[in-house]
Structure 1
């Protein structure tokens, strides 16, 4: 009987491990028990959990908890507050989000600022790198520069480049799974706000109609911001922006496009560009930044990054500093305006992406349609 009692007792620590400084005002540091999750004092020779009595040496040696029916590996909780502080290997497990909690993640801690900004930028770099790699491969095969330019400006190549945007959602969907108890594809999209779960048919129709309405509003906002920045540039820099000729490669492309290609491009905007970019920017970037930097800063920084990324082509094609500055200023304002509108819509719809995706896709389609008719007629 005495031997059995000795099994449950902690061996007293040797005098070499005692540290009088613990009792002289230093705070005891804590880790967490792998069995009950309670705090453990970081002390030398701590054999049993002070709360549940599990044998910590057994866990450390075998890598798993001892069987509950074998009481040899359990002891009565004891007070170790007088023992010296040391590092202990056990850490508290990070809580994951269950399926029931997915609709209520407003107060949940998600990915940090670095991930929120870094993954979208990395995704755009990889996407554009892939497109440039395809162009470079064609250049090695086709030595005729004019033919290569014709291929690149072909509407079907633009459709291909649009489909490449599907890779934009790879990073956010992959990383969202780290915060879920059940990281299914559906749950990952739910965490990013792309879901109709819990919506009745009337509510889905309402979200779509809101998206359509904001797409039209977006046209007026962008037009107003373009006019305002144009007046600003003319007043401050005495530079006049002329819009008589097509102002971008997209306009030149649309001029020669037929109706079938036009419809195909509009569908790509609605089915690919809208969902992918909104999952990336609003569903991942803004959702993360609002939790680390606050609602307003999260919205503003997301809008700025969204606008700058869409103007990356200027850094490649424009070499004159003043021309680059004027064009950047002229194009940045409309992109910033539409991105701010999308951010406010996302916030208003309680971080659900249905209306935002509809707005983005339909707005892009309307701009293509308007550009087509203006250049064709």
Structure 2
């Protein structure tokens, strides 16, 4: 046996005569495999295309792609939001009770305790950072430090006023204060 008998280019041409070098759908280079049935990138059925001389229907599922559990249509987020509070519900509390008495007392008390907890944590870190009591007294008596700490409390007061507007149908300042109590 010589080298020509081992490697016959006419047989190689016959083997790849019916096969494609590239996928007819996505254009990806196909591997040199004898009985390739599916494209390795898009998963199209190459055997079906060879036998029927047409592309497969788009309704058949691709065996290499997982189907999505969620719908592809993105719905507006407004569908999932609670209904907006109208002016009638704000002005007539006897018909529409917005808050319970425990909530109206508990939320401001919780916010006050949370502000003091943050301030206490800041002072604890300050105490452990410098053990010099004179430095701590000078810092707490500094007017800049006092105004900075007051700004933190102002942020905790302004945040609910700004955030509550997404629940109101008519978000005026008056309606925000009525809702917050």
So what's the TM-score if we normalise by structure 1? 0.22
Point out the structure with max Rg over C-alpha.
2
So what's the TM-score if we normalise by structure 2? 0.43
Higher helix share: 1
